[in-house]
Chains A and B, each alone.
Chain A
Amino acid sequence: MWSRDKLTKAGVGAMATALVASTVFAGAAVAQDKSINVAIVGNPQMEDIASLTPSLFTEETGIAVNYVFLEEQTLREIVTRDVGAGGQQFDVVMIGMFEAPQFGRNGWLVDLNQYAGGDADYNVDDIIPAVKNGLSWDGGLYAAPFYAESSFVMYRKDVLEDAGVAMPDAPTWDEVAEIARTIDTDEMAGICLRGKPGWGDLGAIFTTVANTFGATYWEAGENDTIGAAQIDQPEFKEALQFYVDLINDVGENDASNASYNECTNQMLDSKVAMWVDATVAASNLEADDSPIKGKLGYALSPTKVTDASGWLWAWALAVPENAPDKDTAWEYVKWATGPEYLATAGDILPGGWATVPPGTRQSLYENPSYQEAAAAFAQKTLDAMLAAPIDNPGVQPRPGLPGVQFVGVPQFQDMGTRCTEQFSAAIAGNISVDDALSACQAIASEFEGESW
């Protein structure tokens, strides 16, 4: 009789074989003693480190790194499958603040404190405390942050000035919407907001809007359970209607297909004048090779009834409990998230010091080269991260571990992805806001009473 475990492994193995075809082999020319497989999300900072890995890491250590770049949503599926169902495809996986404490709680990840704790070179105390806490569970550190971010408003100072409007340092959503409607032209949209389905895409930014409008997905239930779904409440409708109207009136083209990367491109091409999204985006907008470098202003994430609404997020590297060679995996994690990479990469990267992965270590913000290159946004990034209402994001208690742009329960990713499909369809105009809300209420109700 075959065990269920073995069958699952066989399935995961078959999928893994398909993946290998898309693997990017870095450092093929270097003599290699060992090699590891790393699954990461295909954002610019990750592509940078992949291009520097052969010269900075493989040459020093003899460890070849095979990167697999994936879209956020695909990465989540594959990583969950790999670490959750016992596959052994990856030695190192990139996960976020949503997954790290939950996967740690499930016993799927190696507690990195056993390596990092005694390592003076790695200097774990240099990591910004809020980020470290967000990646920990019950005293264990389950992922090492590669970059961390909050969310804020990025706007074209020149465009706002021409239109004769000013952005407050801590704007409300009503103010932001009014400014967006004022500066919107045929050539340049007033605002870029995510509309692509996925709890980490549209879900991330919209949840911060819902929070500050006083809405929530679920009530907190008793004894660590999920309470009643709250999407049928008037606050939720107000938030979604506001978001959909703003995008349809003055938002970017193809909004229901736009996420972080699409908005980055539209900002760089001067197709939009304002953008509410991750603070890490500033690194690309202010890079040496950016056409809009120096033209940007920054303000805190917009609010409505709460005091702060910015999210807190980190993309972090974790080692699965079933990884074949944990020591080698840690060597890579140590290099990729350690102080040394932050100190050396700035001089080599084509985008210069501004594009170094931000938000993880105090030492980066004390580095004079970074301070100079990132003067426009470094302090604003830190301010936004400190302001993120991680412990109390809305007006009511909610189930699960702490989280701003997500609810810290495992069921959230399923609910969030399916609900954002509905919201995205409402943005595209396929269905009405009311239909989207009632469908989402039905989806969220499926999880009522479940423990997390």
Chain B
Amino acid sequence: MTAQAEPTGSPDPGAERAAKIAEFQRRDKWRRRLPLLPALLFIIVVTQIPFIFNIWYSLQDWRIVPPRGPDFVGLENYTEGYTNQFFLQSVGISITMTTAAVLLSLLVGTALALLLDRQFLGRGIARTLLITPFLIMPVVAGLLWKNQIFSSTFGVLNAIIEAFGLDAIPFVERYPFWAIVTVLVWQWSPFMMLIILAGLQGQPTDILEAARVDRASSRGIFTQITLPMLRPYMELGIVLGAIYLLQVFDHIEVMTGGGPGSTNVPYFVYQRSIGGGWDFGQAAAYSTIVVIASIIIATFALRVLSSLFQRQEPV
């Protein structure tokens, strides 16, 4: 009921009061929103305006080597783009690389978290050391693994292999995909470990105690109680990990510099633009395709996840 809906002109004290409350609530809402506006404006300026420019560029034929354009070409960049075999290859690499790295680091991270959840001497030190890989800059991590662990000339791994009388294996060159995944897993396991550890330490002790009183086996406690409770944490780890790992660039740049088996979508777009292709129109079109695909996938994933979260709550 609102003041405008009142048919007669005579002042009704109840309606007047309702109108005042509505007015107050409206103002109150704006008073709360106002401080957020600069942040919103900032987000729009740094993400949405560049994106509109990106769409505009993607409709142009624009190169600097050899200098050409910009000329408006409509959707030509898109029709050429999504059939390009190298773009499709990079999409495949992005998907498999992200999946492999996220799942493996979740596995390793969970194992480490379970170990760290026990009481032992020096737990704090062990935890700090285990977190360290996550704090190392990606470029440093890539170079470190490439030159000091994988390299067949200076690498520790190959020194060990050679000590057993076997031939050195140039890991990065021979297995570029798995070399990069290994480093990603090394860097991201601590992240997963932290999330899972938070889940483990948030377990209500009374339920575990009750289970023990009921003589449930350790394995039973783990599979029946701990794992289901960790599920939302794992899902969170997967979503956050996937968001970051889809954007991997640094490791690829310093370890392989691209190539079949290691060029993912971000690296491919870099190569088409400032990384040697100088074809800004085409690169912008690829970026737009990726953004649209990401939005579709992210919407889908978030919907699945939020429903999962809700299902977890009654437990």
Q: Which residues of A contact B (CB under 8 A)?
A: 4, 7, 73, 76-77, 80-81, 84-85, 102, 106, 197-198, 253-257, 409-411, 413-414, 417-418, 421-422, 424-425, 427-431, 435, 439, 442-443, 450-452
Contacts and interface: CB of A to CB of B under 8 A. Distances in A.
Interface centre among A81, A254, A411, A429 (most CB of B within 10 A): A254
A254 B153 CA distance: 8
B172 interface: yes
Nearest to B260: A425
Given A4-B70, A414-B277, A429-B174, A424 B151 contact: no
Nearest to B89: A439
B64 A85 contact: yes
A271 B175 CA distance: 24
B170 A254 contact: yes
A34 to B, nearest CB: 30
Interface centre among A81, A102, A427, A430 (most CB of B within 10 A): A430
A431 B64 contact: no
B70 to A, nearest CB: 7
Given A428-B174, A429-B174, A443-B86, A84 B64 contact: yes
B258 A421 contact: yes
A428 B173 contact: yes
Given A84-B65, A254-B170, A256-B170, A439 B260 contact: yes
B261 interface: yes
Contacts of A439: 85-86, 260
B174 A430 contact: yes
Given A77-B275, A414-B276, A253 B153 contact: yes
B53 interface: yes
A412 to B, nearest CB: 10
Interface in B262-287: 263, 271, 274-279
Contacts of B259: 197, 421-422, 424-425, 430
29 contacts: A80-B64, A84-B65, A102-B66, A106-B67, A198-B257, A254-B152, A254-B153, A254-B173, A255-B173, A257-B170, A411-B66, A414-B276, A414-B277, A414-B278, A418-B86, A421-B260, A421-B263, A422-B259, A425-B261, A427-B173, A428-B170, A428-B173, A428-B176, A430-B174, A430-B259, A430-B261, A443-B86, A450-B66, A451-B66
Given A77-B276, A417-B276, A430 B260 contact: yes
B85 A442 contact: yes
A442 B259 CA distance: 15
Contacts of A80: 64-65, 278
B100 interface: no
Contact of A81 (B67, B152, B271, B274): B274
Interface string B75-115: 00000000001100000000000000000000000000000
Which size bracket describes the interface of B in this complex? Answer: 20 to 34
Contact of A7 (B53, B261, B279): B53
Contacts of A411: 65-66
A417 B170 CA distance: 21
A253 B64 contact: no
A418 B271 contact: yes
B168 interface: yes
Contacts of B276: 76-77, 413-414, 417-418
A409 to B, nearest CB: 8
Interface in B160-188: 168, 170, 172-176
B64 A256 contact: no
B86 A410 contact: no
A413 B65 contact: yes
A102 B64 CA distance: 12
Nearest to B64: A84
Given A73-B257, A197-B258, A425-B259, A410 B66 contact: yes
A431 B170 contact: no
Contacts of A253: 152-153, 168, 170
Contacts of A425: 176, 259-261
Nearest to B57: A4
A77 B257 CA distance: 13
A258 B275 CA distance: 21
Top 7 A-B residue pairs of the complex, sorted by shortest distance between their CB atoms:
A421-B259, A428-B173, A410-B66, A256-B173, A84-B64, A410-B65, A414-B277
A280 B64 CA distance: 32
Contacts of A409: 66
A97 to B, nearest CB: 16
Given A80-B65, A414-B276, 18 more contacts: A84-B64, A84-B65, A198-B257, A254-B152, A254-B153, A256-B170, A256-B173, A418-B86, A421-B257, A422-B259, A424-B259, A425-B260, A425-B261, A427-B173, A428-B176, A429-B174, A430-B173, A430-B175
Contacts of A73: 257
A77 B274 contact: yes
A430 B258 contact: no
Interface centre among A7, A85, A414, A451 (most CB of B within 10 A): A414
Nearest to A257: B173
Nearest to A436: B260
Interface in B169-211: 170, 172-176
Contacts of A76: 276
A80 B67 CA distance: 11
A451 B63 CA distance: 13
Contacts of B173: 254-257, 424, 427-428, 430
A77 B253 CA distance: 13
A427 B64 CA distance: 32
